[in-house]
Amino acid sequence: METIFIGGGVFILWAFWTDIKARKIPNILNILFMISGLLYHAVISGWDGLAFAGKGFLLGFGIMLILHWMKAVGAGDVKLFGGIGIWFGMGMTAQVMMYSIIFAGVIGLLIMLWRRETIMRMRRVFWKLIGSVLWKQSIRSTETEHQQFLTFPFMTAVLPGVVFCYLFIT
């Protein structure tokens, strides 16, 4: 199990560094992450290892793809979670995803409080919800509204999510 954490951890740290530096996770990193995980599991456990990796990939990639369609995460994060799924399997991938989303919510709230935007954003959400219920207006945001959304590198939430998960598993 330690080999899995070391192997996957190297790629997660690499992704963290590139996401902080350039706000992007390169495709070459994600491809290497996935291929190395597949090779590792194939060599260690054969077909059972590939099945383990495949299930993890489907969970990590699939759920993050839905979040990407909702414009909550970038495409690099989707591919990265495919790699996390391959290396760590379904169980740990689900936990890492849950912890990462919790950390992302906390980080987003802290940023909003720091910028003192919390009340203004909450009012905007409240009036959008009221408008959608009473006047059947669309809740979907326009492109200009989407550009005003609070964004930060998701890896700032994924890295602590992985560490937190690792500490509770071992």
106 in Cβ contact with 97 (< 8 Å): no
The model's pTM is: 0.78
Alpha-carbon gap, residue 119 to 113, rounded angstroms = 9
- Give the CA count within 13 Å in the CB-facing half-sphere of 134: 6
**3-class SS at 117?**
coil
pLDDT at 146: 46
pLDDT score recorded for residue 111? 82
Contact 132, 140 (CB under 8 A): no
Asked if the model's pLDDT at residue 124 lies above 80, the reply is no
Q: Which of 66, 73, 80 is CA-nearest to residue 29?
A: 80
